[in-house]
Every structure is written in C-alpha cells, then in structure tokens.
Structure 1
C-alpha cells in the first residue's frame, strides 16, 4: 500500500514520444528512463559502452573507423527510435520514482562523464587525433590536415620511412610530426641535400625542396652516429622543418605515436580534397 501511494503521489502523465526521442539522442538510455523503463535504459547504455570500447581496436584503418562510427550512430538512432515507440504506447502512464528531474540530470552527467573518460582512454592507450599547424611535412601532410595517430607501446618497433609523433626536452611540451630517416646504430649524413645512411644514398621520393641554394646544417650535415635507441627524424619539407638536424637524434622513449591516415584534409578548396580523405600517411 505504501509503495502504491508513493507512485500515486507522483501523478499520472502521458509520455511525450518526441521528448523521449530527444533525451535518448542526448544520452543513450535516457529516453527509456523517461519512459519508466530504467533497466532497459541501463542496458542500452552499457551495451553502447562495450561496443564502443571493442570498436576502438579497429580504428587503425580509416574504412574500419568509418564503419565503427556508422554502427554506433545506427545504434543511437535505434535506441532513440525504441524510446519514441515505447512512449507512444504509454498514454495512461503513471509516473514512477525514476521520473524525477534530478535523476535525469544524474543520468546525463554519467553519460557525459563516461564520454570524457572514454576519450581520455582512447587518447592515452589507443589513438590520438592531431591537426598540423605548419608546412614542415609538405607535400605529404598539408597545413590544417587532421590525421589519426596510433599510440605506441614501449616495445613497438619503428621502420624507416614511417611518420611519427615525438617531443623533446626544452620544447614546452610541443609535439612534432616527422619521418624516420635514420635507425639505431646507423650513421646519418646529409651532403648537399642528399641523405646518406652508412655511406649509401637514401631514396626519398617524398622530399620537398622549395628554395634555391645550399645552406650549412640544413643541407649539409653530419655525419652523426646514432645510439642503440636513437632515431634521426626529418620533415619532408626539408627547408622548413625543425628536426634532428637542430634537435639532435630522438630517443625511442620520446616517440609516442605512429601516423596512420588523414581523416579530414585541411584545405577545403583543394581540387584533390575528397581524394585525400582517408589517405594513408606513407
């Protein structure tokens, strides 16, 4: 009797299908809570969280990432549609203890907090998104390009030619994006713009030169012998790149990520803009 009286004190109020749909779009499962189906709402929310965590493992490939995003979007729309359809059937609905504004706000806060925590986990353990502010990697990466980076584990190995993210002491926490040119144990030398590895010229079809004249350090450098955990990193645009010629060899523990693909090109007016969406960074 006491429980019935408590329910009656909340009153009778039909559910608004459009409000249920909107709440579910804002936070998956919230529309179901609004409909009094809190267990179903929690189920929708937990299922989305688990699916999202599983799908992160496949973001290294652009097509797979798009598929994962599409699946999550479809799931959210399904949950919103279910909340809408259920609300239409609740014309004689009696308000329940879960139909309180503070409970809706708690659910929204949990959803937003989990989303922020999920982003931190992804950025710290799996992938990180970057936007290029300079022209140091032209023509491979253009100013304003947004690209995805795989977060590296300490035991991950690097190959020559890969594009990586690193930081160096004294650069105020700034991250750099450059290409691996020299590997541990090798001797790197630059003679009149040509890179030599252990005395042999290196084939670099990705390199860009935009100025006339040969300058010391920039175009003639070394030789430098790399330690057992050091890499020589250089920008593709050799005349506009702050790299190992000035910063020195980069220890492996300063290299945090490996570039994967461009997910949003920066130059919207470029004729090849659409072709560069999803382009792998090689």
Structure 2
C-alpha cells in the first residue's frame, strides 16, 4: 500500500493530466478512427476525425444526460452517435430532421416530397477488399443547399427503396454516404437526440492501411487537416 501511495504521489502530475484528457474527450472534443467503408468517399478507412462534443449539447460526462442544449443539429451534418440498436458508436450523415418525411426510390433520397438532386455522376473502381473491385457511381447530392459527395455500388444487394417515414420528434434519420454499404437508419431506425455524441468536422490525420496488395500503412497527407463537407 505504501509503495502504491508513493507511486501515485510521484506521478500525480501525469495522473492529473490523464484525468483531464479523459474529461476533455468525454465532454468537449474527441477523435475517432474510421474503421469501415460506410462513409466513402467523404471518409475513408484510416481517417481519424475530430469530433466536437459541444456542437449540440452539454452533457454530463460519460452519460447521455443533456445538461444544456447548445444548438440544433442541421441536415447534412456528419455526426457520431451511439446506435439505438446496440450502443455501437457510428458515424453517418443527418438527412432527416424531426418531422421530416423521408423516403427512397431507386437509390434517390426524397425529403418531404422533393427528390434531392444528384449531379456530376462519374464511374470509379472501388476496392472493397484486396482483390475485390466493384463499380462505384459517385455523384454530388444537394441536401437543402449543402452539397456532399456520395456513391452507389450497383453490384451489391442493398436497400434502395422504402416508403415515406416520418421522423419522430427529437429524432434524426441517418444515412451513410456510401449508400449501398451502410447500416444506417434503414436498419437501426431513427436516432434520438440524446444518442448524438458530436459533429465530425475535420480529418485530423489519415493513412492507407489496406491497399490492393494487402496490409500496409501509407500516410495520406493530402487528407490531413481537411474539412468534412
């Protein structure tokens, strides 16, 4: 016991620093690695994004208890949140606000009866795993004046059609930018506001860790410090 107390006393400055860093990450800002392809081409595996935890609410640290609402989530925001299905941390884009009617027809998003424009379509080869390349159709979708990149993967089986869903009060409808490879609100349902963690607004660092030739680690400097649109 005396040895433990002596160790704690000797390293109290470092311990206070770690506690402060943990509090900062749970209440103010966080950084999250991107582990999956659900937000391609906006975000890629190997990106580490900066998340503003004070974008919408001040919460009691380590809980979903909202102490003070700070701002309203906006359509087009890229957010991290806890899945209402199993608590897994996810990152997706808000496409539906409380009260919106959301539907999809042949992969085209329709909000409140208005199809969201998709422009500038181009075809690319998309590597899903080493040796497996599929066609990807990339375009720019306009969410009420907030354009963002998205893509479709026609070769994959995906849910590209669903009837009108009204987003409940205090909830948000999420979609991944990689529409045909994303387990989003089409699977987990709409997300309650208290489950929102924060808004992802910038890529901090990025590295290509899975290339066509297998595992590797190559920095993608062109993505460092880039804004998330």
Q: TM-score, normalised by structure 1?
A: 0.58
In 1, Cα distance between the equivalents of 2:188 and 2:89? 13
The CA RMSD over aligned residues, in Å, is 2.5
Aligned to 2:201: 260
SS in 1 for 2:154: coil
Distance change (3 Å), C-alpha of 1:108 and 1:266: farther
Q: 2:81 aligns with which of 166, 172, 188?
A: 166
1:275 matched residue in structure 2: 222
Q: Residue 121 of structure 2 corresponds to which residue in structure 1? A: none
Shift of 1:225: 0.5
Number of the residue aligned with 1:246: 187
Aligned match of 2:168: 227
One of 102, 108, 132 as aligned partner of 1:188: 102
Residue of structure 2 in register with 1:116 after alignment: 18
Separation in 1, partners of 2:149, 2:169: 26
Q: How does 1:85-104 map to 2 (within 5 A)?
A: none
Q: Which residues of structure 1 form unaligned runs of 5+?
A: 1-101
Distance 2:23 2:83 in 1: 23
Higher share in helix: 1
Deviation at 1:259, TM superposition (A): 0.3
Deviations 1:207-260 (A, max 9, x none): 111233775xx1001210011211110000011100001111111111111102
1:266 is displaced (CA, Å) by 2.5
Change (3 A) 1:107 1:240: same
Q: Deviations over 1:104-157 (max 9, x none)?
A: 955541122112111111111100110111000001110121111011414131
CA distance 1:143–1:212, shift in 2 (3 Å)? same
Could you tell me how far apart the structure 1 residues matched to 2:91 and 2:193 are?
Answer: 14
Of the structure 1 ranges 203-212 and 269-278, higher mean CA displacement relative to structure 2 is found in 269-278
Unpaired runs of 5+ residues, structure 2, are: 58-65, 118-140, 142-147, 210-215
Instruction: Select the structure that is richer in strand.
Output: 2
Tell me the distance in 1 between the aligned counterparts of 2:84 and 2:217: 36
**1:24-39 matched pairs, under 5 angstroms:** none
Q: Which residue of 1 aligns with 2:39?
A: 137
Q: Normalising by structure 2, what TM-score?
A: 0.71
